[in-house]
Amino acid sequence: MKPVNIGLLGLGTVGGGTARVLANNAAEIARRAGREIQVIHAAARGLGDSKPEGTANVDITEDAFAVVNNPEVDIVVELIGGDSPARELVLQAIDNGKHVVTANKALIAKHGNEIFAAAQAKGVVVAFEAAVAGGIPIIKAIREGLSANHIQWIAGIINGTGNFILTEMRDKGRDFADVLKEAQELGYAEADPTFDVEGIDAAHKLCILSSIAFGVPLQFEKVYTEGISKVSQDDVSYASELGYRIKHLGITRATEQGIEMRVHPTLIPERRLIANVDGVMNAVLVMADKLGPSLYYGAGAGSDPTASAVVADIVDVTRDLTTDPENRVPHLAFQPDHINDTPILTMDDVVTAYYLRMNAEDKPGVMADITRIMGEAGISIEAIMQKEPAPGESTANIIMLTQRIREAQMNQAMVAIQALDAVSGEVTRIRVESLASD
C-alpha cells in the first residue's frame, strides 16, 4: 500500500521530536497504522546546512505554504504555534483537501470553530491531541473512552511551569519571583512568562476540554483566568497547616444554570491524588457519571512526550484515510449538528468554597465585625486561624475557610471587610475545591 506522506510545518522542539519519532519507530508505527508513514516535505527557518535527526531525506524549505500546497502531501502537521500564519496555513491545507494534525492549543481554542467547520465541509480530519497536556492522551480519553458517560466536571493541572513554581514554593519555602527566575533558567518558563503564570496557556487548554466534555462551541473569551503571581509564601504555608495544597487548576463543570470554565489558584485537600502531582508534570481529573473519577497523569510538555501525541494523531488520521467522513470520530466528540448552546457562567454565578487571608488590628471587636459581615452575606465559616502579630507589630494575619457560596456574595463581603478601619490592604482570596466524587 502507498505510504502516507507527511508535510511538517516547524522543526523546533516538537517538530524535531516528531520527525525523530517517525524515523526511529517507523516499523512499529507502520504495524499500528497499517501503512508506512514518512515525512517528505518540511518547513523551518534558520537551519542552515544542518538537518535535524530523521530528516536526512526530507525536502526542507522556508516557505510553509509550499508544503501545504504540495500535491504529494497527504497530512499536514502544524507545529509552528501561534495564531498567524498557523491559521492561514491550516485553512489552506483543508481547502486543498489535506488532513491536519496540530499541537497548537491557541489556534484550536481561538479559531477551532472555523477550522472544524471548514474541515467538515471538505470531509477531512483535524487532530489535536497534543494541544492539551502534552503526551497525556486526555482528548482521546474524553472523546472516545468516556463516550458512554455524562461528564460532570474536569479539573486539571495543565501547565507545568505554574506547577513547578508552586511545588518549589511549598517544598523549599521559596518566594514566587525567586522560583520563576529559576524556571526561566531551566527553560520551563519563557523570558516573558505571562502565558504560563497568568493562566492564559491553561485557559486555551481548558476551553478545548470543556467543548469536548460538554458538546458546546469553543469559547475561549469566556474562560475566567487568574494567575499565580499573587500567591505568597504565607498562603502556601497556611494552606499546608490547614491540610491543603495550592495548585493552579483549570476547572470546567456542568451545572443546571450553565457551564463553568475557570483557571485560578485553588486549594485542594492534600490527600487527593491530584494534589500530589508535583514539578512540571500535568494531571487531569475527570468525573463521569458511570465511571466515576479517573486521573490522567504524565508529561505535559517536552520534545518526545508531545511528539508521542502528535504521532498518535498521525496514526489515527492514517487509519481514517479510507473511512467515510460521516463515520469518523467528531472533532469535538459530539456530532456537529448536536453541538448545543448551553450558557457559560460568569464567575459571579460560580459556587465554590474560599480561603481568605486578611491583615487586621489585634484588638477586641475586630473578629466580631468580620464574622458579622460574613453572616450578613450568607457565608458560613468552616475554620478560622489567627496568627500572633510579629514582634513590634499591632496587626495579625487572620485566615478563614468558608463553605461553598456564590462568588457574587463573596465579592460583596470582601468589599465590606476591606472597608473596615481595622483591616489593612486587600483581602487575599483563593478558591477551594474538594474534588470529591459525591
At what angle are helices 26-33 and 13-24 packed, to 10 degrees?
Answer: 80
Q: Which numeric CATH code is attached to 349-432?
A: 3.30.70.260
Q: Which numeric CATH code is attached to 139-299?
A: 3.30.360.10
- 306 alpha carbon, distance to own chain's centre: 14
Which amino acids are annotated catalytic? 205
> Is residue 80 a contact partner of residue 42, using CB atoms and an 8 Å limit?
no
The per-residue pLDDT for 11 is 94
The domain locations on the chain are: 4-135+304-338, 139-299, 349-432
pLDDT in tens, 242-287: 999 999 999 999 999 999 999 999 999 999 999 999 999 999 999 9
pLDDT in tens, 142-182: 999 999 999 999 999 999 999 999 999 999 999 999 999 99
The per-residue pLDDT for 108 is 97
**Which residues make Cβ contacts (< 8 Å) with residue 75, sequence separation at least 6?**
4, 5, 6, 7, 98, 99, 100, 101, 314, 317, 318
With a cut of 50, which residues of the chain have pLDDT below it?
A: none
For 4-135+304-338, give the CATH class.
alpha beta
Beginning with the edge strand found earlier in the chain, give each strand of the sheet holding 37-43 in spatial order: 59-61, 37-43, 4-9, 75-78, 99-102, 126-127
